[in-house]
Amino acid sequence: MMKKIIISIAASALVLAASSCSDYLEEEVKVGAAPELAFSTASGIEGLVANTYSFARGWYGKEAGLGLSEMGTDLFYYGYDNKQKSLNSYNITAESLDGNTSDNASLDQYWELFYSAVDVCNRALHYVPQNEFISDSKKDQFMAEALFMRAFYYWHMVNIWGPIPYNDQPQSEILYAPERVSEEVIYSNMLADLDEAIRLFGAAGYETKEDGRAHLWAARAFKARVLLYAASWLGESSLSGDYSGNLYALAQAEVDAVIGSGVANFYENYADTWTMANEDIRSNQEAFGASPIRPMFLVRPIPSPNAIAKAIPVIHWITTDLLPVPVTAAVVVQWF
């Protein structure tokens, strides 16, 4: 009997020890960069939302971004030390895609860059609603910015690669077999993000370009461009659900709203577009907004239903194309 009692006490001690050891090893993070801690503060969540913009620096103004968007067109020809010559000569080979520093299309680098950017946007969308130190209005604004930027990065990817995997949640594990979805799905998701961004910007009353961030009218202008791209690449009636019908007509509605807002207007003297006196695009009347990466949207009226709208960036950082626009006005959206 005594032996059974001793064994029972020993077994109980082992269970308690194991439980205590487990509890001891579960560390509660009180300092450091744990997301739940960092993004629960006002400054932390502001930094996370600001970081959604930062990845655009890897594309705009960079030689590789120019290579992927403009090389092979009549706009650019490579110089002596250009690193994307194969794009200009339509001669991409395995060597040019495998760490060849003298001729690298940078497709793998941009794939990683843009998906990293999307993940930051997804994290912002996850943590902003949980933050207790910012107002509801600020939450609406931050959510709208993250939605806008997520659509912005997917717009780049779908135009480079076509069908791609779509992530709308923060990545918590490695995906070894991601599945591509159709371009129609990507465009529909982008438009849904922009519609929700427009709603939230409106709820927050955030329509100003003075802060150098995405805002209501920038979102509506960008939506018009996404609709024009979908109509041009996939067909004017290519989408379903909320975006069924004529995509050009849907773009027209956004165009009319943006033009009617008066948020941007042309200079009467075309030379004023180029003068350094108007360099500050927070006050530049043709600009929709500014930031450290200098995003800018221009409104270009189209005089007749049969006119052709062409995106002509001042500094060609985005692929240009001819878009048939059977409407009386169109928005040409560009970032530079």
Total number of residues shown for the chain: 336
User: Domain total for the chain?
Assistant: 1
The answer to whether residue 291 is domain-embedded is yes
Range of the domain at 245: 39-333
pLDDT recorded at residue 316:
23
The answer to whether residue 31 is domain-embedded is no
Lookup: tokens for 40:
């629960």
More confident residue, 30 or 93: 93
The answer to whether residue 313 is domain-embedded is yes
pLDDT recorded at residue 131:
94
pLDDT recorded at residue 90:
82
Lowest mean pLDDT, pick from 88-92, 170-174, 211-215, 288-292: 288-292
Helix axis angle, 216-234 relative to 247-261, nearest 10°? 160
Lookup: tokens for 281:
């695009």
The rounded distance, in Å, linking the Cα atoms of 336 and 333 is 10
The number of beta carbons lying within 10 Å of the beta carbon of residue 173 is: 5
pLDDT in tens, 41-87: 999 999 999 999 999 999 988 888 888 888 878 777 888 888 888 88
The answer to whether residue 18 is domain-embedded is no
pLDDT in tens, 246-283: 999 999 999 899 889 988 888 889 898 888 988 877 77
Q: What is the mean pLDDT of residues 112-133?
A: 96
The letter for the amino acid at 152 is F
The answer to whether residue 21 is domain-embedded is no
Q: What is the mean pLDDT of residues 137-163?
A: 97
The answer to whether residue 142 is domain-embedded is yes
Q: Are 65 and 319 in contact (CB under 8 A)?
A: no
The answer to whether residue 17 is domain-embedded is no
Lookup: tokens for 195:
């519609």
Angle (CA) 110-113-117 rounded to 5° is 140
What is residue 323's DSSP assignment?
A: E
The answer to whether residue 23 is domain-embedded is no
The rounded distance, in Å, linking the Cα atoms of 58 and 66 is 11
pLDDT in tens, 76-108: 788 888 888 888 888 877 666 666 777 888 888
- Indicate the pTM of the whole model: 0.78
pLDDT recorded at residue 47:
95
Q: How many CA atoms are closer than 13 Å to the CA of 120, on its beta-carbon side?
A: 23
What CATH number is associated with residue 50? Answer: 1.25.40.390
